[in-house]
A and B are shown apart, each in its own frame.
Chain A
């Protein structure tokens, strides 16, 4: 209780930025100037600075205050770090009927159901005339009608279902039953050679499936100047694509983590590396917390820490943002009010998924146009929020349209949209669950690699990430790219994974040596 109250108070103080007013006798105008310096990247000239008395003092004062307060709070919160790991059932049954064991591994090929595809095209052809957008609203009120129609026409007339099916079957795929659910996964074993083989589990996000990383696989498989090669295992989360959904309540991210750990064990990998992003990172992060001995490293494109001290530091950071964030990246996190407003504006979809997935799912299951609009709007926003103001949303420039339509077709063919949305509801449902909280609050010693694209939803500096992942060994901050970087910049991700794994291996060598 005390810890919660303290957190909210600090958050308030930070948000209202009343701090500077208490701690100095500067005029309001002077304070504004200081903030302008941080927030708007507007450089205040030296002459102006010398005019403004003791600005440097205030900055120093605020910096000291920031350091003192964060130190105090960190010590305070240390008492709340859970001492022991919760015990988790490793074989919970998620299937229908009584439990059975079937460890067979069946090869799988994606074959779109012809009847379903015909019906899809019929629905696209007889879609309604959608509501005209408000004048000048582009994509700001949601999906732009003209852009949507452009994509839907392509899907109906030019997207070649057979060619794409072949493309989707480029990599060997399998299905195996874990804890009652048929899990669909891609498994790429490198040709035998002299190099060390490193198993890499890749976990996709929403709204995608293991289709997300097709281009990344290619770059990962390219021969590199390293002493190792990757063996890639990329499952779809249960309820996504061709992985079977559960009809039981409670398949939260950490439960999916247990399923994937069992999957890896079945494939003979006790220890492995993980790359994950978006909702896949919920799974990956919990796996690295539960199995700290077995997960050798975690690499992600959506790095964040949700530890309490992280939030406190972010709030206190408003005192003096450069105490926390490198001045080059200050505007990715501050001013906090802007960050929060942007977050609220862009998180309506999350809110719906987390609270009423089944209601929303009906429309998206029944209307391919509705499904397309719901997903495309997310893709536009994720690549670059500024593009919402453009009629074309920069959608077709940022992505290869076939990539997106592969995902849409898989979602339609596998009828998985509702079950994919439910994952958010399960994620939210366990926020109050003591087991989940314990996992969230426990730092993991697993080495961590962070790749930060420019328009990623959340930006956190390394110092904050270290709250959850003290062994952060690799971090790159980029000036381009968005949330679905695996479609936009697969080569960058592949390179970053190689670099991170190299650093992680060095980390172990240093530790052993």
Chain B
């Protein structure tokens, strides 16, 4: 009987694997999306407004007064359990200090001025007012200006990029190009309108962003994203391979079915999947999954009932602060959850953190921002099978490790998604900079035009990788970028380090070009 069962079980597993593999190996074409799908109210459908309006962030006195009232009215918070830091969530003793600072020390006027230091605009696309920052560098002749779209994630905002914008828009001595950066708020985030009906997921955001770039006169451009921004730019690279010149992310991961399968295979034979020195970022899977379960409560509720949790966060600035800032603690360094202050100010200033909160609070956008989880996890979105379409645009990714000794028990598992790069690379056809499996790199097919473009692409994308650490100054990072988070000592762009190794793929690529 036992033998019979074993035969049954192995046949069963074999069958499932076989069916799965068949599904994986079918080449997929990206779906066609309606490039003019209307997300705003029906009655605005006749509006033909393509103007680009200047915009200023405005902290109205009424709003500040109301906010301070709400911050002052707090009852005494429930004390944390004895000896507990952030393990049960945001520590209420430390919360009091943050709220105190927000109420008494945060300089609303000065911060408003700071937030307005870059030119902001809005424009009406597909029924929604889309807010964005656009910084166009002044250049001398011979210096090329390369358009770059920067997309933030949850619970971030355009504020993520304030420190990076100057690094990208000022010419460096060793480069003959600079970036023109376009930094939009995702629909439903900050000062961009949210959709009025269900369905606006990351592929649709990709369409809106592409239309935005077109309106600004950029038919071809580079993209960079983290968190939701990363998923969005990945979808853009899938949907518009002719328009996306290069795709850079600080949050690289793929969800193709074959990747899942390989990940499982790797749990038995890690060396088949991941380099030994990174194996502990990915395996054991059990550690990774238990970490994911512990960290993903917010995701679960946002993907199922965003409007429910949104009520408290819309009504209570304290609730909003606890909910958002908790992520800035555990996703920066997971071990920080053992600290009574969550290690928040180890990496950020309270001003930086509260700037980001203010963008959510003034625009009352927390609920609409959380709905993106529901939309992107919906069966309709999954049925598009975008994850299973191979990306033809050039992809580059920067991955950073979390702090050294802090890694401890949780870090290796949480960093796991880093290791997906290797899998990721195999799935992307035209990856530059090493690690490209030769069978996928079919240079014979490259047209001369592609080569010309590509030389800029390579420099531009390499420039991004060489940035001191792209994610480093990002104010906000998410689940997948925990590992991408700041640490000057340890963080290094994994891919560029691979490319810099002598004799590795980087040279190979340069030879071709």
| Chain A residues with a Cβ under 8 A of chain B | 9-10, 12-13, 16, 18-19, 21-22, 68-69, 72, 116, 119, 123, 127-137, 141-145, 148, 245-249, 344-349, 351-352, 354-367, 369-374, 377, 415, 418-419, 422, 425
| Chain B residues with a Cβ under 8 A of chain A | 1-2, 5, 8-9, 11-13, 15-16, 70, 73-75, 77-84, 88-92, 95, 194-198, 293-298, 300-316, 318-323, 326, 364, 367-368, 371, 374
Separation in Å of the A426 CB from the closest CB of chain B?
10
Q: Which residues of B contact A72 (CB under 8 A)?
A: 1-2, 5
Looking at chain B's contact residues, the main secondary structure is: helix
Given A362-B77, A415-B75, A348:B310 Cβ within 8 A: no
Which residue in B91, B194, B364 is a CB contact (below 8 Å) of A358? B91
Separation in Å of the B80 CB from the closest CB of chain A?
6
Separation in Å of the A143 CB from the closest CB of chain B?
5
Given A13-B12, A419-B78, A357:B319 Cβ within 8 A: no
Asked if residues B319 and A345 are in contact (CB atoms below 8 Å), the reply is: no
Q: Which residues of B contact A377 (CB under 8 A)?
A: 305, 308
> Smallest CB-CB separation from A23: which chain B residue?
B8
> Smallest CB-CB separation from A364: which chain B residue?
B312
Q: Please, how many angstroms separate the alpha-carbon atoms of A21 and B12 in the complex?
A: 9
Asked if residues A369 and B315 are in contact (CB atoms below 8 Å), the reply is: yes
Asked if residues A142 and B13 are in contact (CB atoms below 8 Å), the reply is: no
Q: Please, how many angstroms separate the alpha-carbon atoms of A371 and B321 in the complex?
A: 17
Q: Please, how many angstroms separate the alpha-carbon atoms of A134 and B305 in the complex?
A: 12
Q: Which residues of A contact B320 (CB under 8 A)?
A: 363
Q: List 9 A-B contacts (CB under 8 A).
A: A22-B12, A128-B314, A130-B315, A348-B304, A352-B309, A359-B90, A366-B70, A370-B313, A415-B78
Asked if residues A361 and B12 are in contact (CB atoms below 8 Å), the reply is: no
Which residue in B197, B294, B371 is a CB contact (below 8 Å) of A135? B197
Asked if residues A351 and B88 are in contact (CB atoms below 8 Å), the reply is: no
Separation in Å of the A319 CB from the closest CB of chain B?
11
> Smallest CB-CB separation from B330: which chain A residue?
A356
Separation in Å of the B304 CB from the closest CB of chain A?
4
Given A12-B12, A68-B1, A371:B81 Cβ within 8 A: no
Q: Please, how many angstroms separate the alpha-carbon atoms of A127 and B312 in the complex?
A: 10
Asked if residues A130 and B367 are in contact (CB atoms below 8 Å), the reply is: yes
Q: Which residues of B contact A357 (CB under 8 A)?
A: 88-89
> Smallest CB-CB separation from A148: which chain B residue?
B311
Asked if residues A360 and B364 are in contact (CB atoms below 8 Å), the reply is: no
Asked if residues A363 and B312 are in contact (CB atoms below 8 Å), the reply is: yes
Which residue in A10, A18, A359 is a CB contact (below 8 Å) of B322? A359
Separation in Å of the B342 CB from the closest CB of chain A?
11
Asked if residues A134 and B313 are in contact (CB atoms below 8 Å), the reply is: no
Which residue in B81, B82, B305, B326 is a CB contact (below 8 Å) of A359? B326
Asked if residues A247 and B315 are in contact (CB atoms below 8 Å), the reply is: no
Q: Which residues of B contact A145 (CB under 8 A)?
A: 307
Asked if residues B13 and A365 are in contact (CB atoms below 8 Å), the reply is: no
Q: Which residues of B contact A370 (CB under 8 A)?
A: 311-316, 319
> What 6 pairs between A and B have smallest CB-CB spacing?
A370-B312, A363-B319, A142-B307, A358-B89, A359-B89, A363-B312
Separation in Å of the B68 CB from the closest CB of chain A?
13
Q: Please, how many angstroms separate the alpha-carbon atoms of A372 and B194 in the complex?
A: 24
